[in-house]
């Protein structure tokens, strides 16, 4: 079958790989109809991780079930399903507590698994024609047989992840919220804050297309290239700052006024601590892992940052972190889409064929031609 295969930094190609098969009675085989390129795929694409040549990318996947293992009881051939990017067993201590992003079964020696992602287990990605889904009764979310294709694919990751940022921050009706980053997850976090009833949501970024998209959903754009975002937001909140904050950037952050391309991995965390008022809450779904941020010190490459913990303590703030437990939210978010209460597909900029993936990766990585979120259709 055809799949997006990593070859070397800044190079993926459409290659022929072995079609997956049922390996366990709990598996299903899904014919992929939509799969998306994620910002975290770029970490591998840019050579920042230990990804080896030959890995098939793709952890945001949906499609139609083609084959069903003998042990699967709730699914059948022809069902339309979307899979959380988290591969989870459903029965370990963490899964039973709802922390499916940190499953203790699927990836021995590491808490959590994912499709097509380095260090996240032996699970081929779904930027391909077919995908094997383990523990399928638990991992597949059934969908209506037709409609909302571009909305539903976002249930695999970025819509729940943006919502998760708001849950970590405990965003409540009437509150003010700042979201650092207006990429796909940041836009979903801003959107989720508005869905949860926030009175004002500030969206911080420097890319005009992203800020325009944030404004289109009712967020207040803050361009950090035009000045300190903390000062800009405090000017609009009577000097108090916001009630809540979400960091949707992670370690690839850049400070205002710095040279283009120079990363300062702790700058968003420190800015959000200053932006959020005393006793406010902060959610961090942005990725902070040992990796290879460009142009930073060795401590940052090991995931050790200079964060103003003393200032955070002084302000009595609470911070929640970690990747999204998608199954905690995807069923409710699916039902909001079906009911017409949510339409997350506004974030999608391009829908392309699988064969166009190499060029899509290049343009998404360089943030050109309005590439914000790309959905591929094998």
pLDDT of 347-376, one tens digit each?
A: 999 999 999 999 999 999 998 888 889 999
- In this prediction, residue 96 has a pLDDT band, given cuts at 50, 70 and 90, of very high
Residue 297: the pLDDT is 62
Average pLDDT rounded to a whole number, residues 14-42: 97
Residue 50: the pLDDT is 85
pLDDT at 291 over 80: no
Residue 49: the pLDDT is 86
Residue 205: the pLDDT is 95
Q: State how far the Cα of 335 lies from the Cα of 111, in Å rounded to an integer.
A: 29
Residue 213: the pLDDT is 95
CA dihedral angle for residue 271, residue 277, residue 280, residue 286, rounded to 10 degrees = -20
CB atoms within 10 A of CB 248: 30
Give me the percent of the chain exceeding a pLDDT of 70.
95
pLDDT at 292 over 70: no
3-state secondary structure the chain: CEEEEEEECCEEEEEECCCCCCCCCCCEEEEEEEEEECHHHHHHHCCCCCCCCCCECCCEEEEEEEEECCCCCCCCCCCEEEECCEECCCCCHHHHCCCHHHCCCCCCCCCCEECCCCCCCCCCCCCECEEEECCHHHHCEECCCCCCHHHHHHHHCHHHHHHHHHHHHCCCCCCEEEEECCCHHHHHHHHHHHHCCCCEEEEEECCHHHHHHHHHCCCEEEEHHHCCHHHHHHHCCCCCCEEEEEECCCCCCCCCCCCCCCCCCCHHHHHHHHHEEEEEEEEECCCCCCCCCCCCCHHHHCCCCCCCHHHHHHHCCEEEECCCCHHHCHHHHHHHHHCCCCCHHHHCCEEEEHHHHHHHHHHHHHCCCCCCCEEEEC
Average pLDDT rounded to a whole number, residues 216-220: 98
Residue 266: the pLDDT is 87
pLDDT at 153 over 80: yes
pLDDT at 303 over 80: no
Give me the percent of the chain exceeding a pLDDT of 90.
84
In the block, tokens 């949501």 appear at 201
Task: Tell me the whole-structure pTM to 2 decimals.
Answer: 0.95
Average pLDDT rounded to a whole number, residues 118-138: 96
- In this prediction, residue 193 has a pLDDT band, given cuts at 50, 70 and 90, of very high
Residue 290: the pLDDT is 62
Q: What is the mean pLDDT of the chain?
A: 94
pLDDT in tens, 157-171: 999 999 999 999 999
Whether the CB-CB separation of 25 and 120 falls below 8 Å is answered with: no
Residue 352: the pLDDT is 97
- In this prediction, residue 27 has a pLDDT band, given cuts at 50, 70 and 90, of very high
CA dihedral angle for residue 359, residue 363, residue 364, residue 368, rounded to 10 degrees = -160
Domains with residue ranges and CATH for the chain: 2-157+325-376 (3.90.180.10), 158-321 (3.40.50.720)
pLDDT in tens, 235-266: 999 999 999 999 999 877 776 665 455 678 88
């Amino acid at each position: 079958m055809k799949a997006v295969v990593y070859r070397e930094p800044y190079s993926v190609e459409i290659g022929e790989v072995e079609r997956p098969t049922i390996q366990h009675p709990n598996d299903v085989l899904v014919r992929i109809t939509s799969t998306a390129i994620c910002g975290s795929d770029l970490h591998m694409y840019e050579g920042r991780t230990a990804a080896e040549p030959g890995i098939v990318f793709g952890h945001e996947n949906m499609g139609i079930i083609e084959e069903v293992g003998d042990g699967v009881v709730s699914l059948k051939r022809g069902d339309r399903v979307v899979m959380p990017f988290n591969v989870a067993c459903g029965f370990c201590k963490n899964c039973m507590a709802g922390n499916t992003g940190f499953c203790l079964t699927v990836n021995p020696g590491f808490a959590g698994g994912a499709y097509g992602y380095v260090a996240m287990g032996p699970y081929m990605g779904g930027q391909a024609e077919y995908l094997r889904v383990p523990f399928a009764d638990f991992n597949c979310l059934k969908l209506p047989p037709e409609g909302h294709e571009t909305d539903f694919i976002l249930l695999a990751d970025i819509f729940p992840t943006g919502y998760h940022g708001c849950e970590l921050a405990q965003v409540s009706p009437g509150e003010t919220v700042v979201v650092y980053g207006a990429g796909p997850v940041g836009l979903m976090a801003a959107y989720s804050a508005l869905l949860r009833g926030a009175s004002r949501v500030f969206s911080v970024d420097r890319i005009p297309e992203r800020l325009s998209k944030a404004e289109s959903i009712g967020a207040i754009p803050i361009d950090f290239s035009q000045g300190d975002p903390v000062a800009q937001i405090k000017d609009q909140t009577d000097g108090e700052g916001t009630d809540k904050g979400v960091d949707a950037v992670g370690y690839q952050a850049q400070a205002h006024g710095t040279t283009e391309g120079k990363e300062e991995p702790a700058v968003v965390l420190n800015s959000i601590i200053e932006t959020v008022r005393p006793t406010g809450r902060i959610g961090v779904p942005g990725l902070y892992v040992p990796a290879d941020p460009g142009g930073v010190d060795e401590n940052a490459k090991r995931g050790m940052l200079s964060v103003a913990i003393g200032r955070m303590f002084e302000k009595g703030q609470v911070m929640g972190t970690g990747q999204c437990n998608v199954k905690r939210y995807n069923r409710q978010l699916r039902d909001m889409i079906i009911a017409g209460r949510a339409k997350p597909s506004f974030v999608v900029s391009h829908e392309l064929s699988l064969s166009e993936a190499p060029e899509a990766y290049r343009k998404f990585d360089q943030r050109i031609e309005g590439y914000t979120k790309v959905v591929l259709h094998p």
